[in-house]
């Protein structure tokens, strides 16, 4: 064997996003023991920073030791018991994943169906929950499979009225658009490190409300997963009554998350959100000047994930492979029913810069022109430039 030397890529797909040199440097700092007093200080800082980032005061906040999907699994496996009714609003791939998981938890799943590319509809959810005894309502804030943004406040209010706990997937939203656990009244929210936080994948920031913790404490039977059992994991992360061994924390990965949180606080959360929006507007101006259009209607678009319709007669996979080969630039393909129909262009975290917007428009229009699509490179860049100011 030889050392692995990865190619240098520019990551503008659905995640991971580009990781800044500061975060990469933090990852390579010396490993300490996970019960070292210095490391415990870092854990407390991460918990506090996550609580600020998600606006989750009074919630149990911690980074779970696995990628975003672990947050989903922890939420579902801790809150649901066999026989419970789990309502899930499905408007893309990740709602679909919640349905699968809730079924595995033994719950009776109440699917609330939406067209892919549309946001979750509060009226549909209210109608579905009416007169039913529902334990949880799950939905995705930022659907990465389609680029649609849903409004969690009204959905959480409907769930509360129906006596249900809410599970809000904030994997792609956190750091890119406002996440407001307390303002929404959400019970569990979870995220991932490799989208708008621009750290490597492998951790899942997680927050659980006091009400949800009570529900977990009152379970009839133990959660069937051990690693992500909230009662057990909080004996390590909670810090109350001394920290006891539960699992060995991914120490260096947590250095990376800590640095990513420092980076975001230095910029300021509001400034980071404004930057994502500005880069999105510049990208969309460029795409439209090139004759391309987006899947999601204006007003429901995610700034950090742009689903672009593939024009008729274009081989979409060939466009992506040319962009990767010539520009070392990665964008994403469509999933499920949108396979072959869209590209997914991420503007997440460190990948949301004017430089990324210009490079992506250059590479995409060049790859399209290579398939006899009218050469729109100049027009696209000029339109984006006018927005970038």
Binding site for ligand PLP (CB under 6 A): 15, 67-69, 94, 140, 142, 144, 169, 171-172, 192, 201
Which C-beta is closer to ligand PLP: that of 156 or that of 285? 156
Q: Indicate the pairing of strand 188-190 with strand 204-208.
A: antiparallel
Owner of token pair 């699509």: 373
Which C-beta is closer to ligand PLP: that of 15 or that of 377? 15
22 near 263, Cβ under 8 Å? yes
Which C-beta is closer to ligand PLP: that of 143 or that of 187? 143
Least Å from the CB of residue 144 to ligand PLP: 3
Least Å from the CB of residue 15 to ligand PLP: 5
Least Å from the CB of residue 239 to ligand PLP: 26
Across the chain, the runs of DSSP E, i.e. the strands, are 10-11, 60-64, 85-90, 108-113, 136-140, 142-143, 148-149, 165-169, 188-190, 204-208, 305-309, 329-330, 332-333, 342-346
282 near 384, Cβ under 8 Å? yes
Which C-beta is closer to ligand PLP: that of 67 or that of 152? 67
Which C-beta is closer to ligand PLP: that of 81 or that of 96? 96
Q: Indicate the pairing of strand 332-333 with strand 10-11.
A: unpaired
Least Å from the CB of residue 252 to ligand PLP: 18
Order across the sheet with 342-346: list the strands.
Answer: 305-309, 342-346, 332-333
Residue facing ligand PLP at closest CB distance: 68
Q: Which two tokens stand for residue 81?
A: 């018991």
Partners of 121 in beta bridges: none
Which C-beta is closer to ligand PLP: that of 140 or that of 381? 140
Least Å from the CB of residue 313 to ligand PLP: 30
Least Å from the CB of residue 16 to ligand PLP: 9
């Amino acid at each position: 064997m030889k050392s692995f030397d990865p190619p240098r890529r520019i990551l503008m797909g659905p995640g991971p996003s580009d990781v800044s040199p500061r975060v990469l440097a933090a990852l390579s700092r010396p490993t300490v023991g996970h019960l070292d007093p210095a490391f415990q200080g870092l854990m407390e800082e991460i918990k506090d920073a996550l609580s600020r980032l998600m606006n989750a005061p009074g919630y149990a906040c911690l980074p779970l030791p696995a990628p975003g999907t672990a947050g989903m699994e922890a939420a579902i496996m801790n809150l649901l018991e066999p026989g419970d009714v789990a309502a899930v609003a499905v408007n893309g791939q990740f709602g679909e994943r919640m349905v699968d998981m809730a079924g595995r938890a033994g719950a009776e799943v109440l699917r609330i169906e939406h067209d892919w590319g549309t946001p979750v509809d509060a009226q549909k959810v209210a109608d579905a929950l009416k007169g039913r005894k529902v334990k949880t309502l799950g939905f995705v804030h930022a659907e990465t499979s389609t680029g649609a943004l849903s409004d969690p406040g009204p959905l959480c209010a409907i769930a509360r009225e129906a006596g249900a706990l809410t599970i809000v997937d904030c994997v792609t939203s956190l750091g890119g658009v406002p996440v407001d656990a307390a303002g929404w009244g959400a019970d569990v929210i979870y995220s991932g490190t490799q989208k708008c936080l621009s750290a490597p994948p492998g951790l899942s920031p997680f927050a659980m409300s006091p009400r949800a913790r009570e529900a977990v404490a009152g379970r009839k039977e133990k959660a069937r997963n051990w690693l992500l059992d909230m009662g057990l994991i909080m004996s390590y992360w909670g810090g109350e009554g001394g920290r006891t061994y539960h699992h060995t924390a991914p120490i260096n990965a947590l250095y990376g998350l800590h640095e990513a949180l420092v980076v975001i606080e230095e910029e300021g959360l509001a400034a980071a959100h404004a930057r994502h929006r500005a880069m999105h507007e510049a990208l969309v101006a460029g795409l439209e000047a090139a004759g391309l259009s987006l899947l999601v209607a204006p007003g429901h678009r995610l700034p950090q994930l742009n689903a672009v319709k593939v024009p008729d007669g274009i081989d979409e996979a060939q466009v992506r492979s040319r962009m990767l080969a010539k520009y070392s630039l990665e964008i994403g393909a469509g999933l499920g029913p949108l396979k072959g129909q869209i590209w997914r262009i991420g503007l997440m975290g460190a990948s949301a810069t004017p430089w990324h917007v210009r490079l992506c428009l250059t590479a995409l229009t060049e790859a399209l022109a290579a398939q006899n699509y009218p050469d729109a490179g100049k027009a696209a860049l000029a339109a984006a430039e006018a927005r970038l100011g």
